[in-house]
């Protein structure tokens, strides 16, 4: 009985809107990571912090590195060790020229998509 | 690097490396160094690297096997574009099919090509054992390749003993052609990532 109630609570909590938002955030992750590296090279934890503080994205630590690895193999980022006197060297990730170009291309698609969606949904928004 | 000699961390990294399976050694080394550096950073944040802190950091990363699956999932299609392993191609196109209609088309093409190719080879192998039942039966507009019970047969058998060379040669050619075609399709998909091609061709 307790188990059933717990299940119902879980199902009620994870609404379709929550699921949709989770999928949306996941889909934006690559652009968010590329965007976080645009101003300057960052190390892994710094990327997670930038995603959290500037993008409101709570990314699981185990999710970041597989994407970073693919971006590196795709030639969009490079990584290098830097010793900044913290007691151990840090691995910094930098956008390559191809990475900058790809970021701009994805951003263009993003802008076009969001502006069309905003237009489509303008009638749904409550009047100000 | 003072923290990462802890046995628990080393076990985790060893397990991760082993679970990364078919990735190239250079890529595995990069991944391990990424994760090792992350663990060092997190432990430095937490202060003393005791068992509790290490457990907390490793839990946040997820199990080593689960993490390896994430790495492989991200890289599956790029790897499959350069493989001749049917299972890797099937897994990659299946993963692709879960996300795009073009992936469904590639997966169906792969299944169709492999099924017919395999059926031709099996028929050629079984013909000497069951000469009356194995063949390519034609009953327009239907074609049946394989085993037919004499009582259920309609139409006539087309190939006779020619099914041996046709089955072996045609079947193998179809399997090879399907593999090459799907690999080519996967490479097209990765074409906007030229570095994938350079890295794998360089290591081939």
Q: What DSSP assignment string belongs to chain B? A: --STT-HHHHHHHHHHHHHTTTS-HHHHHHHHHHHHHHHHHHHHHHSS--HHHHHHHHHHH--HHHHHHHHHHHHHHHHHTT---HHHHHHHHHHHHTT-HHHHHHHHHHHHHHHHHHHHHHHHHHTTTSTTTEEEEEETTEEEEEE--GGG--SEES-GGGHHHIIIIIHHHHHHHHHHHHHHHHHHHTTT-HHHHHHHHHH-
pLDDT tens-digit series, residues B145-165: 888 776 776 677 788 888 889
- Chain-chain contact of A69 with B74 (C-beta, under 8 angstroms): yes
Least confident of A73-77, B36-40, B89-93: B89-93
pLDDT at B88: 80
Q: Where are the domains of chain A?
A: 28-120
- Chain-chain contact of A73 with B66 (C-beta, under 8 angstroms): no
Least confident of A97-111, B28-42, B73-87, B176-190: B73-87
pLDDT at A48: 94
Residues B140 and B155 sit within 8 Å (Cβ to Cβ): yes
d(CA A75, CA B194): 8
Instruction: Determine the CATH number of domain A28-120.
Output: 1.10.10.10
Region A62-86 average pLDDT: 89
- Chain-chain contact of B66 with A62 (C-beta, under 8 angstroms): yes
| Nearest chain B CA: its distance from A107 CA (Å) | 16
ipTM above 0.90, yes or no: no
Residue B30 has pLDDT above 60, yes or no: yes
Residue A111 has pLDDT above 80, yes or no: yes
Region B95-115 average pLDDT: 85
Region B124-141 average pLDDT: 83
B2 CB neighbours in chain A (<8 A) are: 87-88
Out of B3, B41, B71, the one facing A44 most closely (by C-beta) is: B41
A98 CB neighbours in chain B (<8 A) are: 195
Closest CA relative to residue A72, chosen from A93, A51, A91: A93
Q: Per-residue b/e over B8-21, b at no fewer than 16 CB within 10 Å?
A: ebeebbeebbebbe
- Chain-chain contact of A90 with B1 (C-beta, under 8 angstroms): no
d(CA B8, CA B29): 19
User: Model confidence at B99, in pLDDT bands (50, 70, 90)?
Assistant: low
| Bigger pLDDT: A26 vs B193 | A26
Residue B86 has pLDDT above 90, yes or no: no
The number of C-alpha atoms within 13 Å of B160 and in the hemisphere containing its C-beta is 0
User: Model confidence at A24, in pLDDT bands (50, 70, 90)?
Assistant: confident
pLDDT at B4: 47
pLDDT at B36: 94
């Amino acid at each position: 009985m307790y188990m059933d109630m717990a299940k119902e609570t879980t199902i009620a909590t994870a609404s379709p809107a929550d699921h949709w938002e989770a999928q949306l955030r996941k889909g934006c992750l690559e652009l968010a990571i590329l965007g976080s590296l645009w101003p300057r090279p960052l190390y892994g934890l710094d990327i997670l912090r930038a995603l959290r503080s500037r993008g409101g994205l709570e990314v699981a630590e185990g999710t970041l590195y597989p994407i970073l690895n693919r971006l590196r193999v795709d030639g969009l980022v490079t990584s290098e060790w830097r010793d900044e006197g913290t007691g151990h060297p840090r691995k910094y990730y930098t956008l390559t020229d191809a990475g900058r170009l790809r970021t701009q291309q994805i951003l263009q698609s993003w802008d076009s998509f969001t502006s069309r969606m905003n237009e489509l949904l303008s009638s749904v928004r409550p009047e100000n | 690097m003072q923290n990462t000699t802890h046995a628990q961390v080393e076990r985790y990294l060893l397990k991760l490396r082993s679970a990364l399976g078919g990735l190239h050694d250079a890529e595995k080394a990069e991944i391990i160094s990424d994760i090792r550096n992350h663990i060092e950073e997190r432990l430095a944040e937490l202060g003393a690297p005791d068992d509790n802190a290490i457990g907390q950091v490793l839990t946040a990363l997820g199990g080593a096997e689960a993490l390896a699956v994430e790495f492989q999932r991200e890289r599956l299609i790029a790897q499959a574009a350069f493989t001749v392993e049917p299972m890797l191609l099937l897994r990659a196109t299946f993963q692709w099919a879960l996300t795009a209609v073009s992936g469904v088309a590639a997966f169906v093409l792969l299944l169709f090509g492999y099924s017919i190719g395999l059926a031709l080879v099996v028929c050629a192998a079984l013909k000497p054992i069951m000469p009356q039942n194995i063949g390519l039966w034609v009953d327009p507009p239907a074609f049946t390749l394989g085993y037919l019970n004499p009582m259920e047969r309609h139409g006539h058998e087309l190939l006779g003993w020619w099914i041996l060379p046709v089955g072996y040669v045609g079947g193998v050619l179809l399997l090879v052609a399907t593999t090459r075609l799907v690999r080519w399709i996967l490479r097209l998909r990765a074409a906007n990532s030229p570095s994938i091609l350079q890295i794998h061709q360089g290591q081939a």
